[in-house]
Amino acid sequence: MQIEAINLESLELHGVSFDKLDFSVCKAITNLSFTCVWNMNESSSLENLIPNLPLLENLTLGNMRGGNLKDIKILSQNMKSFNVNNRYDGEMTVVIEWAPKLASFSYTGNINFCITMESSNFLNGTFEILKIENNFEDDWFISMIEFLLNLNCSWNMVTLHVDKAEPLIGLINLKIISPLPLVNWEHLRVLTKCKSEKESELRDALRWIFPSLKTISIAKRAT
Over residues 181-202, the pLDDT tens digits come to: 578 899 999 999 888 889 999 9
Checking if the pLDDT of 15 tops 80, the result is no
Q: Are 120 and 142 in contact (CB under 8 A)?
A: no
Q: What is the pTM of this model?
A: 0.90
The answer to whether residue 221 scores a pLDDT higher than 90 is no
pLDDT of 223 strictly over 70: no
Report whether pLDDT(172) > 60: yes
What are 40-88's pLDDT values in tens digits?
A: 555 567 888 888 899 999 999 988 776 667 888 999 999 999 999 988 7
pLDDT number for residue 80: 97
Burial of 41 (0-12, 13-18, 19+ CB in 10 A): exposed
